Amino acid sequence: MSPVILSAAGAALVLDDSGPGLPRVRHFGAALGPLDAPLPAAVVAPAFASPAPPLLPAQGDGWYGRPGLSGVRDGEHWPVRWSVDRLEARAEPGSGGTVTVTATDAQAGLSLVSELVMDEGGLVRMRHAVTNTAPSPYRMQGLVCALPVPARAGELLDFTGRWGLEKVPQRREFGYGVWSRENRRGRTGHDGTGLLVAGTGRFGFRSGEVWAVHAGWSGGHVHYAERLPEGVALLAAGELLDPGEVVLARGETYRTPWVYFSWSGTGLDEVSARVHGHLRSRPLPVRPVTLNNWEATYFDHGLDRLLELAERAAAAGVERFVLDDGWFRHRRDDRAGLGDWYVDEGVWPDGLHPLAVRVRELGMQFGLWFEPEMVNPDSDLAREHPDWILGRPERTPPPYRNQQVLDLARPEAYAYLLERTSALVGEYALDYIKWDHNRDIAEPVHDGAPGVHAQTLAAYRLLDELRARHPGLEIESCSSGGARIDLGILARTDRVWTSDSNDALDRQAIQRWTGLLVPPERLGCHVGAPGDHITGRSLPLAFRAATALFGHMGVEWDLTSASEAELEELATWIALHKRLRPLLHAGRVVRADHPDPSALLHGVVLPERAVYAYVQQASRLDMAPAPLRLPGLDPAATYEVRTAGPAPERALLPEWAAAPVRVPGAVLAELGLPAPALRPASALIIELERV
């Protein structure tokens, strides 16, 4: 065969375009080096198994698993057999490239455009577009993107979760048949898969060969792994469509969201780094330390109290003040007012200007909370426009949190939300919006058809238009915490709220696993109150701050109740974050496969600097803690090692923690540092500088 090869950063995707039909994926994994001659057919064609799957697998290609495309046409059924009209490839060895394939099946009345892109970091993204070319409607049932994985990928990792405890990992054998994660919540979900990973047995962060897939879509979605007895396996993902949700008239096209594929020969960290590199291709401004007033005041919007909170925040080094829920008409609790996006004149007789002006006088940016996609039945908007609720007009969908969902695909509702949010951004020169989405979508019906697809696209358009009107505006995606975290929403927002739980012990795991997909500068990580508002657990400030340090740091705590000593310590941690911010928000995230299950060791590394956190989560079994083998360093370099930030309470620190020491990178990686003996819920920050 004469292969089409995309390669970058040690990864390669090899396509066989010799036909018939769509190109077949012969390899996705490690770079194969220069291939100056065609690959012998005897090497790439298995003798007894089904052939390698094409870009869009179908039975006509010898694939008897789930089809890549499924749909029906009224009155007759035509299995699809694609004939390639054009293949355009632009391969830049070592830097990736693009492949675009145009194909048709005249008898089935369909045409196809498939796009593949490998970026310079080795991340692959793919999407398909199917157009109906026949007179009769084509009812799309499913269209996914898939890439094969080899037989040695024998283990699966994916994630589940709930409100306040997102991204809980689960592992299983990659056996025969289909392991499918399907989401019908109308948003990505607290139990959203994030990355579905297949790998060699017992793969870790720094070991094993792994393949991963992610659908960049914020509505219904599916991720699945499938293995056939013929010896072929694949990972696939795409939008999950309800029956009748997408019906293509002649000339109409359905396009999948981008689906992302990442490979690593050295564990999960490299898979993660490829995704982080993609997100970092859209640069962000410096990430201001942010205070959100929600857990400090809830719906109590007394101006004097908020001003005192702002003054204490500024004194501690906070750079952005965000006013959360409760500022708009009729909103004294969560039972009324959603949809009435006008400043409540009874609470704010002079508008939000007194607060906004003072916040800026204190040197901070000003941000505001919205939940545009939702409405309370007890609101002026719902009373005036009950037909704007997403659902059938004959009956209201089941309520949740006293909310219903607005039908954003309805032009009048969309226009109202765009006008109101844009007007408030303009009036108060908002620097930042916290954009919330606080319920799953139940019984979504738009114009008599399933409505999640249209709703998701409308939400994207609304965000895009708002940003176009206000180019400097930053937007945070919040969804009951971490229920809408995906590369679709991250393409149009600047950070995600990782979880509504600020419990630092739970946050260590939530941030660790959410961080597989999202780099630190886009992860909202706040210092919560001494007693967490969700779990009730009391944790020391040093541990809460050390946990928030490794993200987009913020505060979610009533600082008016904090002691002077607490404020001074908080200011010390914020100053440390600001000093480390150029490293934390640009470096490569590394996570050690630490042998002690009661502890974590993770860090961020640049060529000249690095910072790590050694986290004792629970009581350890061993009398002596395991050495700290620091991953990601240059073995040929020498580093000066020192601790950073306030020391954890009642810790037994080793000799190296008393004064800076110089240690070769190879020693730090192989022998490691003697570990401190920490109490549970403690962390030690270790800073390194190349010398």
Residue pLDDT, tens place only, 116-150: 999 999 999 999 999 999 999 999 999 999 999 99
Rg over alpha carbons for the chain, rounded to the nearest Å, is 26
Let me know if 207 is exposed, middle or buried by CB neighbors in 10 A (0-12, 13-18, 19+): middle
pLDDT (mean) for 248-268: 98
Write out pLDDT tens, residues 40-80. 555 555 444 556 899 999 998 889 999 999 999 987 888 99
pLDDT band at 314 (very low <50, low <70, confident <90, very high): very high
Write out pLDDT tens, residues 411-444. 999 999 999 999 999 999 999 999 999 999 999 9
The answer for residues whose C-beta is within 8 angstroms of residue 67's C-beta and 6 or more apart is 57, 58, 59, 142
Catalytic residue of the set 61, 494, 500, 503: 500
Active site residue 622: no
Residue 634 scores a pLDDT above 70: yes
Q: Are 386 and 395 a contacting pair, CB within 8 Å?
A: no
Please state the three-class secondary structure of 84-107 as a single string: EEEEEEEEECEEEEEEEEEEEECC
Domain with CATH 2.70.98.60 in the chain: 3-279
Runs of H (alpha helix) within 380-451: 380-384, 411-427
Query: Is the torsion defined by CA of 306, 556, 490, 576 positive or negative?
Result: positive
Please state the three-class secondary structure of 453-519 as a single string: HHHHHHHHHHHHHHHHHCCCCEEEECECCECCCCHHHHCCCCEEECCCCCCHHHHHHHHHHHCCCCC
For tokens 């050295």, what's the residue? 266
pLDDT (mean) for 562-581: 98
Residue 538 scores a pLDDT above 50: yes
Task: Give the per-residue pLDDT at 33.
Answer: 77
Task: Give the per-residue pLDDT at 47.
Answer: 44
The model's pTM = 0.97
Residue 498 corresponds to which tokens in the numbers above? 């990782």
What CA–CA distance (Å, rounded) separates 545 from 5? Answer: 46
Question: Which 3 state secondary structure label does DSSP give 41?
Answer: helix
pLDDT (mean) for 630-648: 96
- The residues with which 140 forms a beta bridge, in sequence order, are 71, 246
Residue 20: cis peptide before it, omega within 30 degrees of 0: yes
Q: How much is the mean pLDDT over the chain? A: 95
What CA–CA distance (Å, rounded) separates 311 from 308? Answer: 5
Task: Give the per-residue pLDDT at 205.
Answer: 98
Task: Give the per-residue pLDDT at 50.
Answer: 55
pLDDT-wise least confident of 22-36, 222-236, 460-474, 561-575 = 22-36
Domain spanning 3-279: which superfamily?
alpha-galactosidase from lactobacil brevis (2.70.98.60)
What fold, for 592-690? Answer: Immunoglobulin-like (2.60.40)
Active site residue 447: no
Domain with CATH 2.60.40.1180 in the chain: 592-690
Binding-site sequence positions for substrate: 163, 324-325, 401, 434-438, 478, 500
For tokens 């928000």, what's the residue? 585
pLDDT (mean) for 6-13: 97
For tokens 């545009």, what's the residue? 372
pLDDT (mean) for 179-192: 97
What CA–CA distance (Å, rounded) separates 480 from 166? Answer: 11
Write out pLDDT tens, residues 221-231. 999 999 999 99
Catalytic residue of the set 119, 191, 436, 506: 436
Q: How far is CA 32 from CA 198, 515, 629, in A?
A: 21, 29, 31
Residue 37 scores a pLDDT above 80: no
Binding-site sequence positions: 163, 324-325, 401, 434-438, 478, 500
Percentage, residues of the chain above pLDDT 70: 97
Task: Give the per-residue pLDDT at 312.
Answer: 98
pLDDT band at 97 (very low <50, low <70, confident <90, very high): very high
